[in-house]
Amino acid sequence: MRDEQPSLNPKQQREQQRAFAIAVLTQAVSLVESIAQEGKCDLPQFTTCMDFLFARDSTYKPSFYTGAIKAKRILQGQEVRYAKPILLHSTTLLALEKKISRQKQCLQTIAEGMQRIEKQMQYFNDPYHSNIIAAVANLYGETISHYKPRVIIRGKPEYLKQTQHTERIRCLLFAGIRAAWVWRSNGGNTFRLLFGRQALICELEKIRLIT
Q: How far, in Å, CA of 88 to CA of 29, rounded?
A: 9
- Mean pLDDT, each 10-residue run in order, the chain (211 residues): 65 93 97 98 96 83 88 94 95 97 98 97 94 98 97 97 98 98 95 90 80 41
Query: What pLDDT does residue 8 have?
Result: 86
Q: How far, in Å, CA of 10 to CA of 161, rounded?
A: 46
Query: What pLDDT does residue 63 have?
Result: 83
Query: What pLDDT does residue 56 have?
Result: 82
- Indicate the residue type of 123: Y
Query: What pLDDT does residue 62 have?
Result: 73
Query: What pLDDT does residue 209 have?
Result: 53
Helix and strand numbers, DSSP H then E, in the chain: 10, 0
pTM attached to this predicted model: 0.94
Taking a C-beta distance cutoff of 8 angstroms, is the pair 49, 171 a contact? Answer: yes
Q: Which domains does the chain have, with CATH numbers?
A: 10-207 (1.10.3890.10)
Query: What pLDDT does residue 211 have?
Result: 41
Q: How far, in Å, CA of 183 to CA of 44, rounded?
A: 23
Query: What pLDDT does residue 57 have?
Result: 78
